[in-house]
Amino acid sequence: MDALTFHEGRHFLQIPGPTNVPDRVLRAINKPTIDHRGPEFASLTLSVLSRLKKVFNTTGPVVMFPSSGTGAWEAALVNTLSAGDRVLMYETGQFAQLWRGVAERLGLDVEWIEGDWRHGVDPAKIAERLSADPEGSIGAVAVVHNETSTGVASNIAGVRQAMNEAGHPALLMVDTISSLASMDYRHDEWGVDVTVAGSQKGLMLPPGLGFNALSDKALQASASANLRRSYWDWKPFIEANKNGFFPYTPATNLLFGLSEALDILMEEGLEAVFSRHARLARATRGALSAWRLENLAVMPAEYSNSLTAVVMPEGHDADKLRRVILERFDMSLGAGLGKVKGKIFRIGHLGHFNDLMLMGALCGVEMGLKLAGVPHKEGGASAAMRFLAEQG
């Protein structure tokens, strides 16, 4: 066997999603498939939906699609908007751009606020654009809470406040794909109308489930929206879910896994989950500082607790470093996407993850930096270890 492809032990998956799947969840997914129209499945569905509301911090309905997060993006748009409607979107990174592409392909008129990929959404710019729309032609504001491509988190409560102060009726749509169940998020309290999420990050599942959490205002908008929808239509889901069923075949075994993942989250407690992610993120940033490497996120208030994007020194290729680390230490780091391709690498520190797993990851990065000849100061892993020991 090729020495470059054989590795002892477990692979270190340090991309910011899909994340490590707990053994408990894998065992749950491995259960025998049951009748998705039978009473046992109905009980499972009702239990999952009830607990999901706690994760989203909502009392409203949560719709689960057999899909990726991209499907959940499309569902948010087609259920609430009509052909030609204007949507205000904000460039925070690659995934904000991709959501824009979905909106444009659906025939929506996207008003785009350009960003530099190093800062989050500026609520003042949202307010400025909405104040210039007294006729209310903008149907929705769509932003990313935690931009997976950059490690920048945005102030969603601030965005809602800006919308309220502008007195604008637009819906607020928020992508939480890399923040839900990892960072504090409050659908109802922050006045979000549609929250988009996926299964493969903080929920600790493989890819395959997409989610929309809905406000009453979003449901009212769906009654008059005329974008074509069939697979993504909320209405048959909400009706069927009342009795624990689905309008078409669901991802049955992923729901077994989701139920187990929700058990894990509730056993730890969501506040403890958020605290753990914050601690691991601070340790990672401490290592970064000790290495004398730069965080792509500029503002401390916008640092992500799910991942850290590391800027490479001028003249050094992040993909080369990632390749060295993968081949030598069997660890996958997140690539730079779009305009930061080759310029950054991303360390995922979310989901089923603890102090010792982080230390293994940071040691792998530090050894890789040395092997790849990347200029840095040694001692980043040691700095993180000291921080974690003191925080324990």
CATH code of the domain containing 288? 3.90.1150.10
Q: What integer is the mean pLDDT of 140-156?
A: 98
- Residue 392's pLDDT is 64
The three-state secondary structure class of 332 is: strand
Judge if 129 and 273 occupy the same domain.
Answer: no
Judge if 162 and 248 occupy the same domain.
Answer: yes
- Residue 4's pLDDT is 53
Q: What integer is the mean pLDDT of 284-298?
A: 98
Whether 257 is covered by a domain: the verdict is yes
Judge if 188 and 295 occupy the same domain.
Answer: no
- Provide the pairing of β-strand 171-175 with 12-14: unpaired
Judge if 45 and 77 occupy the same domain.
Answer: yes
- Residue 180's pLDDT is 98
- How many CB atoms lie under 10 A from the CB of residue 181? 25
Whether 1 is covered by a domain: the verdict is no
Helix axes 123-131, 156-165, angle to 10 degrees: 30
- Residue 94's pLDDT is 98
Q: What integer is the mean pLDDT of 121-137?
A: 97
- The CA–CA distances, whole Å, from 383 to 181, 248, 289, 299, 380 equal 27, 51, 9, 21, 5
Judge if 171 and 294 occupy the same domain.
Answer: no
- Residue 1's pLDDT is 37
Judge if 339 and 259 occupy the same domain.
Answer: no
Res 165 pLDDT > 80: yes
- Overall domain count for the chain: 2
- Residue 313's pLDDT is 98
Whether 322 is covered by a domain: the verdict is yes
Whether 351 is covered by a domain: the verdict is yes
Q: Per residue in 89-110, pLDDT tens?
A: 999 999 999 999 999 999 999 9
Whole domain around residue 239: which residue ranges? 23-266
β-sheet with 109-113: strand ranges across: 62-66, 209-214, 194-198, 171-175, 138-144, 86-90, 109-113
Question: What share of the chain in percent tops pLDDT 90?
Answer: 97
- Residue 176's pLDDT is 98
Q: Which one has a higher pLDDT value, 392 or 7? A: 7
Of the three residues 266, 297, 318, the one that is the final residue of a domain is 266
Q: 328: which 2 tokens?
A: 């030598």
Judge if 373 and 251 occupy the same domain.
Answer: no
Whether 304 is covered by a domain: the verdict is yes
Res 7 pLDDT > 90: no
Whether 123 is covered by a domain: the verdict is yes
Is residue 272 very low, low, confident or very high in pLDDT (cuts 50, 70, 90)? very high
Judge if 214 and 319 occupy the same domain.
Answer: no
Q: What integer is the mean pLDDT of 286-305?
A: 98
Judge if 159 and 192 occupy the same domain.
Answer: yes
Q: Per residue in 340-372, pLDDT tens?
A: 999 999 999 999 999 999 999 999 999 999 999
Question: Mean pLDDT of all residues in the chain?
Answer: 97
Q: What integer is the mean pLDDT of 149-173?
A: 98
Whether 3 is covered by a domain: the verdict is no
Residue 12: φ, ψ to 5°: -90, 110
Q: Per residue in 21-80, pLDDT tens?
A: 999 999 999 999 999 999 999 999 999 999 999 999 999 999 999 999 999 999 999 999
Judge if 112 and 249 occupy the same domain.
Answer: yes
- Residue 64's pLDDT is 98
Q: Per residue in 255-269, pLDDT tens?
A: 999 999 999 999 999
Judge if 16 and 63 occupy the same domain.
Answer: no
The three-state secondary structure class of 356 is: helix
Q: What integer is the mean pLDDT of 202-231?
A: 98
Q: 304: which 2 tokens?
A: 């992500």
Whether 159 is covered by a domain: the verdict is yes
CA distance 107 to 124: 27
Cα-only R_g, the chain:
21
Of the three residues 203, 236, 266, the one that is the final residue of a domain is 266
Of the three residues 231, 266, 301, the one that is the final residue of a domain is 266
Judge if 132 and 281 occupy the same domain.
Answer: no
Is residue 3 very low, low, confident or very high in pLDDT (cuts 50, 70, 90)? very low
- The residues facing 212 across adjacent strands are 63, 196
Q: Per residue in 172-189, pLDDT tens?
A: 999 999 999 999 999 999
The three-state secondary structure class of 118 is: coil
CATH number at residue 229: 3.40.640.10
